[in-house]
Chains A and B, each alone.
Chain A
Amino acid sequence: MAGKAIWKGYINFGDVNLPVKLHTAIKEDRIQFHLLHKRDHLKLRQQMICAFEKKPVPTEAQVKGFEVEEGKYIIVDPDEIEQTAPEDSRMIEVREFVKTEQIDPLFLERVYYLEPDVPLKGYDALVGALKEMEVAGICTWAMRKRYYLGALQTGGKILRLTTLRYADEVISLKSLELPDIPLSEKELKIGSDLINRLTAPFQPQKFENEHQKKLQSLIEKKARGEKIAVLRPRRLKPTAPDKLLQALEASLKKVA
């Protein structure tokens, strides 16, 4: 079953005004740990401590500040910040359409499923149009006191809305300033051959969260009082630059 409906809105562009309900699409199942005091195994709590007095500070004595310079703050009232929050407008405004393949995965944040709301007319038509033209709608909307940028796309028979990061939230790859190292045509050819040999169709059902299962069994072993062998991870020896061609050739031989 899809996640619960968290919001209702209207997809709006041209003469399209389509009512939809947003549902969460991902459910992460994780083993949760508590943080305990080693000495007495008591569950710890988070507290705000004054850096100066080294003592806990109650909520009534806490204020929010924006650091303008080291050690200097502008105090803000939570109500003042509230005032800057947008009103929920229910309009998911499509500003433009782009070819889906142009959207770099670095910009994708959180995906929601869109369920058609009444009246139902037009939903299937929009799904069909987006799918056949292979495009996504770039949208803006205000939800739960925040402004969002997103991509309206199809997924199977339904519409999906994925929030997008703003441009300045993605760190530019050029800023990494990686060195340009020359490579021989031979290294590149063998490397490419190797990759093509190791290529398989994407079948996500092949992959399970094995670590989660092993973690579960570790917990069960300890609960039974069994001794745990602590294995130390080994680091693989890095391939030296002058041994790279050799490693590639040996790899290709291995998969042939």
Chain B
Amino acid sequence: MVCAIIAIALLSAAATALAGSDHWFSGTLVQGYGFASTAAHSISYIEATGNHNGFCVAKDTGTTGYASATKTTAGTRACSSSGGFAARVENSACCYHGWVDNSTSNDIIFDASTHYSY
């Protein structure tokens, strides 16, 4: 019994250690561009808040950093079409980058809450 409790505690601690979040983008994302996180993880959640509508979040594979906003992503986009907040729940499959894009004709400023969890 004691061994089982210890094992559960250790597993829980390990899971806690593996879980985390990455604030992979904030600031200005110019029109026509997206930005992918450097790290890749088993993403469970993505969230972004921007000062103009029309941006999207998704999970993605491939190169990190800036790319065309219209590139094909690994996961479906969730887009803020008339508001300033978009979020996605993902299935925690391994391993993807966080992605945010701006295919509008305005530059969009993202606040520091923009992040993904894994």
Are A and B a genuine interacting pair, yes or no? no
